[in-house]
């Protein structure tokens, strides 16, 4: 069923038969469903936040059980955490800019 506001013209040719055409049709309909509801943007945000939790848990365990001096522990945690902070900034910026275009 095609929404009324859609400008996409659905065509079904006589050659659109077979398993691959059926798979492509349903894959396209699935992507339209995901795209209309912007599920992909939400999933990117959720995955980045999940990564943040995992890195924080690792950092706390590493700091707690490491036998290295404090400054070395801090340097190792920073070496792991700082690049991920860049990813967080990029992903959250992408998310909010995409939401602003709605």
Domain locations along the chain: 39-100
Rounded CA-CA distance 73/40 in Å is 36
- Helix ranges restricted to H, 1-102: 19-37, 39-65, 70-100
Residue 14 has pLDDT above 80, yes or no: no
Q: How many CA atoms are closer than 13 Å to the CA of 70, on its beta-carbon side?
A: 0
pLDDT of 34 strictly over 70 = yes
Q: Give the pLDDT mean for 78-97.
A: 90
- Span 75-101, mean pLDDT? 88
Rounded Cα distance between 27 and 25, Å, is 5
Structure tokens at 34: 């995901």
What's the mean pLDDT in 89-98?
Answer: 86
């Amino acid at each position: 069923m095609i929404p009324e506001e859609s400008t996409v013209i659905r065509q079904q040719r006589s050659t659109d038969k077979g398993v691959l055409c059926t798979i492509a049709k349903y894959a396209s309909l699935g992507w339209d469903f995901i795209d209309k509801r912007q599920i992909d943007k939400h999933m990117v945000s959720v995955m980045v936040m999940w990564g943040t939790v995992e890195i924080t848990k690792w950092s706390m365990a590493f700091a707690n059980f490491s036998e290295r001096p404090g400054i070395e522990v801090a340097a190792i945690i920073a070496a792991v955490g700082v690049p991920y902070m860049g990813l967080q900034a990029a992903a959250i910026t992408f998310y909010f800019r995409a939401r602003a275009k709605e």
